[in-house]
Amino acid sequence: MERDRDTDLVLQSLGEDLARADPRLAALLGDLPVRRHRVRTSVVLLLVLTLFAVGLLLAPTIALGATALLLASAAPLAVCWLCAEDPPAAGAP
């Protein structure tokens, strides 16, 4: 004669002991829903938003820095080009 799992008193007491000792394991083994932590989701969301904001700020910063470096290195060359004398014209005395 086969007994149902719910009617066996030994299994019921073991299940109750397990539920008291480790509720998450009991929930995985039984029909109880597993409680998920929202803290982990919040931390991941905060980290992703922070990295996204840094990515948005970093690209314009790099572009502005590269432009400033280019202008700073080109300024002396531009001054030398403007101060250079024009070669004399072929028909000039």
Task: Output the pTM of the full model.
Answer: 0.36
pLDDT at 42: 82
- pLDDT single digits (tens) 49-89: 888 888 888 888 888 888 899 899 999 988 887 887 776 66
Closest by CA position to 35, among listed 46, 51, 24, 25: 24
What is the domain partition of the chain in residue ranges? Answer: 8-83
Alpha carbon 34 to its chain centroid, in Å, reads 27
Handedness of CA 10, 12, 13, 14 (dihedral sign): positive
Structure tokens at 77: 């060359």
Alpha carbon 36 to its chain centroid, in Å, reads 21
pLDDT at 26: 73
Q: Classify each residue of 7-31 as buried b or exposed e, where b means 16 or more C-beta atoms within 10 Å of its C-beta.
A: eeeeeeeebeeeeeeeeeebeeeee
